[in-house]
Structure 1
């Protein structure tokens, strides 16, 4: 028997058209023109800026903490169409048909119900959230259709729950470079956030998901946002794109490590049905078959620390098995108890509920069976080498903080790092010393002195964008970097500094040149073969 929950989460049927038996293409049809609903959203100026103006900074911050009370109080009595839309779609309020007719003059309440976004009781069945983004191609305003979270539901999430815009989707969007691409794959598209971003720089985008509901909501997101050129396909992992290659692959796969036993809720958006961290392992090993030479993949993931073994070493093994270039950043590591608590809360299970303790036991039993002590989380940028014979770039690091993404996002910084590696990896010391170096414009130098001291006790280079690195300097490296203005070759600068400091030039070169290579890869200096 269908429950009320089942009816709330039943998406309109999705017609599918087989394509040569290789994959299934999703075609969304609706009895109500989506263009009418999109026009209503546009006319209402239903945007991030408009809503912040209506409910103010205090309410905006409270909503970020899942507290709707200040926003609901601010919107009470307002007849502005955007206020009514926010009450309906974001706060989950009951809005009568007359008010909906005023807010949606083209679509009306009946059209919203036919479209599958409004229930018979006048409450929204989905969240339609304004989403604003900025990248190197400019500013854009979209609308993302997803399921309501706990702020509206006040109950644990259903198995087919589809996430909207959140911290993970914003992080992943910043991890993807903005350079042009011919074909991009958004694997596990969910509500379609990454497909929106990908289409900004790609000629064509293929977006896949195993969830019927996710595909329906992604199609609604794309239609409401006026984004074309995205093909939706149904299927698990790489099955929908068998035999195809892409210039870029983007994914926030369902990587959450979940016990494989009865009684443990499985949420489609986060559980890929594999044991432990197997889904990230499987993803990485499959990439060579789906990337063009020089193509890159950008994803988030978890990895296990087993019996004291380093989790990043596990990732290194996956990368080496696939023979890929890699830049992997671990941003966080949790012990298994904290990890279980985090994801139980994410699914709506509070520590005060009767279900918490048996579920926590199941998670800890699952970890104990594999002798897992901690779980790492981070970002993976992987590349199929453009030249199979070239030296590989493989960086596995822990970075506590990174500069905010945006026009100078992390994805562009890492892409520049790959380019710098390609530029210098094959150069011997002599050839590298003939390069000309310039300090990047976002890099500053800090010096700290003891009171009254003539010389600094600490010198650092500080990066303003990308990974926001802080690099300690000694006197020799600091002097060479300080002279890097592109005028003279690196080797000449090293010789001059050695003479100034009265040290052996060969010894200084042996110390400084490897560190300059590192500074080039992480984007703190740029290199040229000769003076421009």
Structure 2
């Protein structure tokens, strides 16, 4: 199927029509109702189809609710009468949408069917800049087509894309690289705070969708350049202040009998399969980023990494950071065993055990064989934040697991944590004791007491923002946090607490200052 075409006049007309149509996230959810909207988020279309049918029942096509027409056409893959689409998009109309490559029409009469050639859906997100409300074009998914995805399928904005957009550090900056742009979602987010964005992809089809989405949604003064090519090839010699990437990180069998079995059963999906064995693609990204970052530049990406028998994942991924010569903060968000991982990604492309049992079994077995060959006992998924040091050697090497809920958007919290790391790196314990700190507004204290007890046996200092960390605090540490209002230095507070608890001040400082350092690093306390 041909990719979409970007005609500036038609795209402008489409933007105007969509703005007037109430075809946005809230408008569609209002049309469908909470039950059908929730089911659609779970990839269950039947309730939404019923809601769309009810919205148009008994009405002439020229009177159909534009939201019902557009949701039925682009979200559910239903045919709609030409007259209904002309009402929903009165400027660009069905003919213009056909010229853009987004629909195909059976004929020119008002009652002739129009079918979608692409997914066009409203998008809503909040990143560190603020709210983003767009429409994103991509290939039709399995829900609309009822079949397996094509190997050159261009994915829309899924959960991983949304996560990356929300965790990215956002500040006014110069050049941003979106490596592996897909439909262009990260480039759109970057265009709101960067002077210039370069978006790359190995897929020409993806770049065609990205071009359309940038034209449809980016600010009028945005400078977004699209380049074709793999990995860092399209930007050789360029340097960037920020690099973002939601790469094709899925660990797919690539060699030997296992690789051949998966290729024959499923094909190679460009949007998720990077063409490298194991987790080499993510490793290669990490190792190559130093050469495209300016000093102080930040890179943020999502990735998978293997947990191999006898080696901690932190040791394996930490070795990548050491070799790359970059500051690194890795947050592992999820861990799947090899069987769970295989099931997830075989099903992702539309192959199921009931629909295609032979393909399912062949791919499943090949995935398990591939993992067993490298002694892989689990696969981690997480957020990678890297930074090229301004000078000298890296000072940040932090690898941790955080599988609980987080408060998105996380980008501002990550930016503050990087700044706090730099502030701490420039201060020894004496300088830290001389700082006047303030407790963050989102920090609360939880006390747990046994029934009838006068004093708590557990005190937890918890942040409501960011990663929502909870720190088990001693009574002196909890008291110190409570006293941090910017008036007294940390050392003065420690001295007062030492007198209160009748302990040597030096001993109490030796206990509390390392904890204070961690609280500053994690955003509980700030200067």
- TM tier, smaller: over 0.9
Q: 2:103 aligns with which of 114, 118, 135?
A: 118
- For 1:304 and 1:74, the matched residues in 2 are separated by 44
Q: CA RMSD in A?
A: 1.5
User: Are the aligned partners of 1:190 and 1:218 in contact in 2 as well (CA < 8 Å)?
Assistant: yes
User: Are the aligned partners of 1:251 and 1:300 in contact in 2 as well (CA < 8 Å)?
Assistant: yes
User: Are the aligned partners of 2:6 and 2:215 in contact in 1 as well (CA < 8 Å)?
Assistant: no
List aligned pairs for 1:395-434, cutoff 5 A.
Answer: 395-405=398-408, 409-434=409-434
User: Are the aligned partners of 1:414 and 1:522 in contact in 2 as well (CA < 8 Å)?
Assistant: no
List aligned pairs for 1:67-466, cutoff 5 A.
Answer: 67-76=44-53, 77-78=55-56, 79-121=64-106, 122-227=114-219, 228-260=222-254, 261-264=259-262, 265-352=267-354, 353-354=356-357, 355-388=359-392, 392-405=395-408, 409-466=409-466
1:369: Cα distance to partner? 1.6
- For 1:437 and 1:112, the matched residues in 2 are separated by 58
- Counterpart position of 1:3: none
- For 1:170 and 1:308, the matched residues in 2 are separated by 34
User: Are the aligned partners of 2:128 and 2:410 in contact in 1 as well (CA < 8 Å)?
Assistant: no
1:494: Cα distance to partner? 0.8
List aligned pairs for 1:5-16, cutoff 5 A.
Answer: 7=1, 10-11=2-3
User: Are the aligned partners of 1:335 and 1:373 in contact in 2 as well (CA < 8 Å)?
Assistant: yes
- For 1:136 and 1:518, the matched residues in 2 are separated by 24
- Counterpart position of 1:18: none
1:460: Cα distance to partner? 0.3
- Counterpart position of 1:478: 478
1:237: Cα distance to partner? 0.7
Superposed CA deviations along residues 16-48 of structure 1, whole A, max 9, x for unmatched, are xxxxxxxxxxxx654962112222212212211
Superposed CA deviations along residues 332-358 of structure 1, whole A, max 9, x for unmatched, are 111111111111111112233321111
User: Are the aligned partners of 2:128 and 2:412 in contact in 1 as well (CA < 8 Å)?
Assistant: no
- For 1:455 and 1:351, the matched residues in 2 are separated by 58
1:379: Cα distance to partner? 0.4
- For 1:119 and 1:59, the matched residues in 2 are separated by 27
List aligned pairs for 1:26-65, cutoff 5 A.
Answer: 29-30=6-7, 33-65=10-42
> Higher mean Cα deviation, 69-78 or 364-373?
69-78
- Counterpart position of 2:522: 522
Unaligned runs of 5+ in 1: 1-6, 13-27, 528-532
TM-score, length-scaled by structure 1: 0.91
User: Are the aligned partners of 1:130 and 1:143 in contact in 2 as well (CA < 8 Å)?
Assistant: yes
The alpha-carbon distance between structure 1 residues 302 and 136, as it changes in their structure 2 partners (threshold 3 A), is: closer
User: Are the aligned partners of 2:128 and 2:169 in contact in 1 as well (CA < 8 Å)?
Assistant: no
Superposed CA deviations along residues 80-121 of structure 1, whole A, max 9, x for unmatched, are 222211111111110122222222222222221121111244
**Residue 76 of structure 2: SS of its match in structure 1?**
coil
- For 1:303 and 1:137, the matched residues in 2 are separated by 30
- For 2:343 and 2:302, the matched residues in 1 are separated by 20
TM-score, length-scaled by structure 2: 0.92
**Residue 26 of structure 2: SS of its match in structure 1?**
helix
**Residue 190 of structure 1: SS of its match in structure 2?**
coil
User: Are the aligned partners of 2:82 and 2:105 in contact in 1 as well (CA < 8 Å)?
Assistant: no
Superposed CA deviations along residues 381-429 of structure 1, whole A, max 9, x for unmatched, are 000012325x601110001214221xxx312111111111111213221
Q: Which runs of 4+ in 1 moved over 3 A?
A: 28-32, 135-138
User: Are the aligned partners of 1:402 and 1:466 in contact in 2 as well (CA < 8 Å)?
Assistant: no
User: Are the aligned partners of 1:32 and 1:115 in contact in 2 as well (CA < 8 Å)?
Assistant: no
**Residue 385 of structure 2: SS of its match in structure 1?**
strand
User: Are the aligned partners of 1:443 and 1:462 in contact in 2 as well (CA < 8 Å)?
Assistant: yes
1:140: Cα distance to partner? 3.1
Unaligned runs of 5+ in 2: 57-63, 107-113
- Counterpart position of 2:59: none
- Counterpart position of 2:505: 505
Equivalenced residue count is 500
User: Are the aligned partners of 1:117 and 1:126 in contact in 2 as well (CA < 8 Å)?
Assistant: yes
User: Are the aligned partners of 2:127 and 2:167 in contact in 1 as well (CA < 8 Å)?
Assistant: no
- For 2:8 and 2:238, the matched residues in 1 are separated by 34
- For 1:144 and 1:168, the matched residues in 2 are separated by 15
1:522: Cα distance to partner? 0.8
> Higher mean Cα deviation, 516-525 or 349-358?
349-358
- Counterpart position of 2:110: none
- For 1:136 and 1:411, the matched residues in 2 are separated by 6
1:372: Cα distance to partner? 1.2
User: Are the aligned partners of 1:31 and 1:114 in contact in 2 as well (CA < 8 Å)?
Assistant: no
